[in-house]
């Protein structure tokens, strides 16, 4: 008689252990899964990455505005070289952002990015971008960083985007954690 409750308790314990292990696995995989989801769907204004620009260029054009921000822990000035450009859908365009290290030592930064309106994200494709890799600037150094992009001509066929005449490409630079010369968060918090 006592074996039946023990089996039920063992089965319940095994099920709970499996649930906890599954939750741990999902928590571990959540960041890469979310990044993959955003890249595939354009969710939240996530842009696409492309190997080549399309052969077809559409007559419709949009204004691309450039925005730049820097986290306060990174001693950089960061700004677009041009505030905006006009591009035809499918036309490859090259734009530059300028960064300057205002600190007294080398600092490595990493950029996050998105576009607004968010619904334009699936149609905004980057061919090459400084945001794909970390950037290290020596003390006082300045650099022009390129981004090569296009807006997919298929955007013209999406009636949900008929009202989109301007797309804003926005970057925010942060100090890359754990890199030599990068401000330590604990040291920043202590100051």
Q: Give the chain's radius of gyration (CA, Å).
A: 23
Tokens coding 17: 């252990």
Which of 93, 86, 94 lies closest to 59 in space, CA to CA?
86
Residue 69 or residue 130, greater confidence: 69
**Does pLDDT of 168 surpass 90?**
yes
pLDDT computed for residue 1 by the predictor: 53
Average pLDDT across the chain, whole number: 80
Return d(Cα 4, Cα 9) in angstroms, integer.
9
Residue 113, helix vs strand vs coil = strand
Whether the predicted pLDDT of 188 surpasses 70: no
| pLDDT on residue 104 | 92
Q: How far apart are CA 123 and CA 157, in angstroms?
A: 11
* Predicted confidence (pLDDT) per residue in 75-126, tens digit: 999 999 999 999 999 999 999 999 999 999 999 998 888 889 989 989 988 8
Edge-to-edge, what's the strand order for the sheet holding 84-88? 84-88, 61-70, 166-175, 107-116, 135-137
Q: What is the pLDDT of residue 160?
A: 93
pLDDT in tens, 21-71: 777 666 655 445 444 544 444 444 455 555 566 778 889 999 999 999 999
């Amino acid at each position: 008689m006592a074996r039946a409750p023990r089996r039920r308790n063992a089965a319940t314990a095994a099920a709970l252990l499996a649930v906890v292990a599954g939750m741990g696995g999902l928590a571990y995989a959540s960041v890469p899964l979310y990044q993959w989801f955003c890249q595939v769907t354009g969710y939240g204004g996530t842009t696409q990455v492309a190997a080549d620009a399309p052969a077809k260029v559409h007559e419709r054009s949009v204004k691309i505005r450039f925005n730049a921000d820097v986290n306060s822990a990174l001693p950089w000035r960061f700004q677009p070289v041009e505030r905006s450009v006009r591009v035809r859908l499918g036309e490859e365009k090259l734009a530059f952002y300028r960064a300057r290290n205002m600190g007294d030592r080398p600092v490595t930064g990493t950029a996050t990015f998105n576009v607004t309106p968010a619904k334009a994200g699936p149609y905004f494709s980057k061919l090459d971008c400084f945001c794909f890799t970390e950037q290290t600037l020596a003390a006082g150094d300045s650099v022009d960083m390129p981004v090569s992009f296009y807006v997919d001509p298929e955007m013209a066929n999406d009636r949900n985007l008929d009202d989109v005449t301007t797309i804003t490409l926005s970057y925010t630079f942060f100090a890359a954690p754990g890199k030599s010369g990068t401000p330590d968060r604990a040291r920043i918090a202590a100051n």
